[in-house]
Structure 1
Amino acid sequence: MALTIQSPGSAAISGPSQYLTFELGGEMFAVGTLNVREIIEYGPITHVPLLPASLRGVINLRGAAVPILDLGVRFRGERTLQTSRTCFVILEVQVGSVRKPVGIIVDAVSEVLEIAEQDIEPSLSVGTEVRADFLLGIGKLDSGFVLLLDIGRVLSLEPIEVLANLESLLPATA
């Protein structure tokens, strides 16, 4: 099966775009709302042996196994600690000809913001632990800056074949 990950935001950014902002490790991040399927409360994660450390396992979301990526491990090598505000952001990525859900663990979801093209600077690798190639750019806000994630690139280095085949790991529930 041919596996490709497409991020609607990975093309050239033009005009105002909407982003879901969230906190992770004291930094503010954002993903394009076109990638976001839903936000759910943090819950039990089923461990799957032999996955990379940043793939924590799967959750059962209405009978479907959804892989959960810990961005804290991916970016800093440290697991994201659960608090009362920790949640899963369920994203959709293109796997072959099908869109598949993939969850990320975040410290807290903030808000949906519209960021104009002129308020987005090219990404820099200074001042953050996130690799510059994981970023679409840095959004300038009245309250500071937000790192705009290219979720397609963040996920592209993971063994996506594993993500594509995880549905068979959880029994379907009615």
Structure 2
Amino acid sequence: MERADDVAAREALLDRAMGPGRRRKSSEKLRRGRMPSEGLDLVAKDGDGTLVGTVRLWDVRAGEGGPAALLLGPLAVDPAVKSAGIGSALMRHAIGEAARLGHSAILLVGDAAYYSRFGFSSEKTGKLAMPGPYERERFLALELVEGVLDGASGVLKASGRKAKPAPMARAA
């Protein structure tokens, strides 16, 4: 679970792993001004306590009046330790925690070849859409409760807890 003192390290990791355009993605529109779903802001640290991986899941609605779901992302691993299984471990843990907490579906925009190993596919996203531009073949879903996305259609809507505004500095 991410702690307050992990925030700066997480942001630096995301900048290194995802590049400068990361804040312009469609998924970011659903995350902006929101808090991750309760208990689903996960990090991986090495033996020295350095943050080397992160994944967060966000509460959304799958279309207008659709079922509650989670939007996963971003998943990032420090490029210095790529291919060490950290991303896979974070994914397995995130899916397990989402199921344990009673969530019914997880959606994401990502590489189908990578995420299919965790059960994600585009089978249930055909009538759903992201706000803003995205590559349709990369819009994937995993049902944690079978059939929950049947009939879901429309654009994903943010539904999670709103982030508290940053405190304003006071002039002396």
Q: Which has the higher strand share?
A: 1
Q: Same fold (TM over 0.5)?
A: no
Q: Which has the higher helix share?
A: 2
Per the normalisation by structure 1, the TM-score is 0.26
